């Protein structure tokens, strides 16, 4: 996968390959932790199911954009495939973090304490493990309301990273349906 860089002279993937047709791209959701057995019907998983369905409205299976879930393995992969139906599931590898510049040494006390206690830190550290060259990360409570969400990939023509500021969270209740 392409690595983030702060060097403006670094070539972009299109400059290397000639076009983005050779570069994989997709939407990624991060799923950390488990819900109570047997149904995994916690709010987060229900929202994730709806979020994936909203992306599928505009990008069905087999389209140019895939959907991946990065998982810590707390919910079994066969269950995720059957009930959430992503194109792929990637198991997060926490020991890969030490391969990143400026990351703490593998197995350091700082890393273990951070990963064990702060789910937000685990989520931030998971971003570097996207299976795609060009990735749009979506939160599980994000519903895609238009096919124009694909325009977000064009931002990656110019920048390695783009983020949206969330000033005012709007709450749209989940359908509450069970999986």
pLDDT in tens, 57-105: 999 988 889 999 999 888 899 989 999 999 999 998 876 554 444 454 5
The pLDDT score that the predictor gives to residue 105 is 52
**Mean pLDDT value of segment 130-136:** 92
Sequence-distant (≥ 6) Cβ neighbours of residue 116 within 8 angstroms: none
Rounded Cα distance between 101 and 38, Å, is 40
pTM: 0.72
**pLDDT > 90: percent of the chain:** 34
If pLDDT is split at 50, 70 and 90, which confidence band does 9 have?
A: very low
- 12 falls in which pLDDT band (50, 70, 90)? very low
Please answer whether residues 88 and 135 qualify as being in contact, where contact means their C-beta atoms are separated by less than 8 angstroms.
Answer: no
Q: What is the pLDDT of residue 120?
A: 75
Q: Where are the beta strands (DSSP E) in 7-81?
A: 25-31, 66-71
Averaged pLDDT of the chain = 75
Residue owning tokens 């830190």: 121
Helix boundaries (H) for 42-163: 43-58, 77-84, 109-117, 119-126, 152-155
Mean pLDDT in residue range 27-39: 77
Weakest mean pLDDT among 10-19, 48-57, 156-165, 170-179: 10-19
CA 76/CA 124 separation, integer angstroms: 22
pLDDT tens sequence across 137-146: 999 989 999 9
């Amino acid at each position: 996968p392409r690595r983030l860089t702060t060097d403006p002279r670094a070539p972009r993937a299109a400059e290397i390959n000639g076009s983005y047709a050779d570069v994989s791209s997709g939407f990624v959701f991060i799923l950390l932790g488990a819900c109570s057995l047997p149904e995994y019907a916690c709010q987060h998983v229900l929202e994730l199911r709806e979020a994936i369905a909203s992306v599928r409205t505009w990008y069905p299976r087999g389209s140019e954009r895939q959907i991946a879930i990065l998982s810590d393995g707390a919910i079994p992969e066969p269950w995720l495939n059957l009930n959430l139906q992503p194109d792929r599931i990637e198991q997060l590898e926490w020991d890969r973090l030490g391969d990143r510049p400026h990351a703490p040494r593998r197995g350091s006390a700082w890393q273990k304490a951070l990963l064990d206690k702060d789910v937000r830190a685990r989520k931030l550290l998971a971003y570097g493990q996207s299976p795609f060259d060009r990735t749009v990360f979506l939160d599980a409570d994000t519903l895609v309301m238009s096919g124009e969400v694909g325009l977000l990939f064009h931002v990656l023509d110019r920048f390695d990273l783009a983020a949206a500021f969330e000033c005012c969270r709007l709450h749209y209740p989940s359908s509450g349906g069970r999986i």
